[in-house]
């Protein structure tokens, strides 16, 4: 897994609407990358629904969420609509898992990302990371708020 203090690897991926989104688009803003295995699994649905419930609180801390999985952008759109969430979902589809690999979040044996969180500061440096011990364990929203408390809004 990428370490705090390292520069965040750049990327350009398609969002749920098929639009290209680059890490550089967020320069000057803090973001939290939410790597998750894939759309439409019950655990992933639970994770993203939980984050949606606290998304406004996270935004008040000056942080924007971006979900990333190996699914195509068409699947992301359907998943987003099914859950009723507005978190942008990015397709790490082709080459499959390239961004997850760059961040050290990809599990080769199963062909998808682990549940991993990467907080990136406004200058593009990794502030904090969390890697779940297994893709079946959801990193709770409390972990995010604990990290934001440690690093504060001006980190």
Does residue 48 sit within a domain?
Answer: yes
Q: Check pLDDT > 70 for residue 51.
A: yes
User: Could you count the other beta carbons within 10 Å of the beta carbon of residue 42?
Assistant: 7
User: Could you count the other beta carbons within 10 Å of the beta carbon of residue 110?
Assistant: 11
Contact, 106 vs 100, CB < 8 A? Answer: yes
Calpha distance 27→4 (Å, rounded)? 17
Annotated active-site residue in 33, 44, 48, 66: 44
| pLDDT-based confidence at residue 151 (cuts at 50, 70, 90) | confident
Of 6, 25, 35, give the one whose Cα is nearest residue 98. Answer: 35
Does residue 7 sit within a domain?
Answer: no
Calpha distance 139→32 (Å, rounded)? 13
Does residue 131 sit within a domain?
Answer: yes
Number of domains in the chain: 1
Does residue 143 sit within a domain?
Answer: yes
The CATH number of residue 66's host domain is 3.40.30.10
pTM of the shown model: 0.97
Say which residues have a Cβ less than 8 Å from residue 60's Cβ, sequence separation at least 6.
none
Whether 44 is a known active-site residue: answer: yes
Does residue 44 sit within a domain?
Answer: yes
Instruction: Report in angstroms the alpha-carbon separations of 18 from 11, 34, 52, 91.
Output: 15, 19, 21, 9
pLDDT digits (tens, 9 = 90+) for 72-117: 999 999 999 999 999 999 999 999 999 999 999 999 999 999 999 9
Does residue 5 sit within a domain?
Answer: no
Does residue 3 sit within a domain?
Answer: no
Of 5, 10, 4, give the one whose Cα is nearest residue 98. Answer: 10
pLDDT digits (tens, 9 = 90+) for 119-128: 999 999 999 9
pLDDT of residue 97: 98
Does residue 61 sit within a domain?
Answer: yes
Give the domain extent around 98: 12-151
């Amino acid at each position: 897994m990428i370490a705090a203090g390292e520069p965040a690897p750049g990327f350009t991926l398609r969002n749920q609407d098929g639009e290209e989104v680059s890490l550089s688009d967020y320069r000057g803003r803090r973001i939290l990358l939410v790597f998750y295995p894939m759309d439409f699994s019950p655990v992933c649905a639970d994770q993203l629904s939980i984050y949606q419930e606290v998304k406004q609180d996270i935004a008040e801390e000056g942080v924007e969420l971006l979900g990333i999985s190996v699914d195509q952008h068409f699947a992301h759109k359907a998943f987003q609509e099914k859950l009723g969430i507005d978190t942008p979902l990015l397709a790490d589809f082709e080459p499959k898992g390239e961004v997850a690999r760059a961040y050290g979040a990809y599990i080769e044996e199963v062909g998808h990302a682990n549940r991993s969180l990467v907080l990136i500061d406004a200058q593009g440096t990794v502030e904090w990371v969390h890697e779940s011990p297994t893709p079946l364990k959801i990193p709770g929203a409390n972990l995010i708020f604990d990290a934001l408390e440690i690093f504060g809004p001006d980190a």
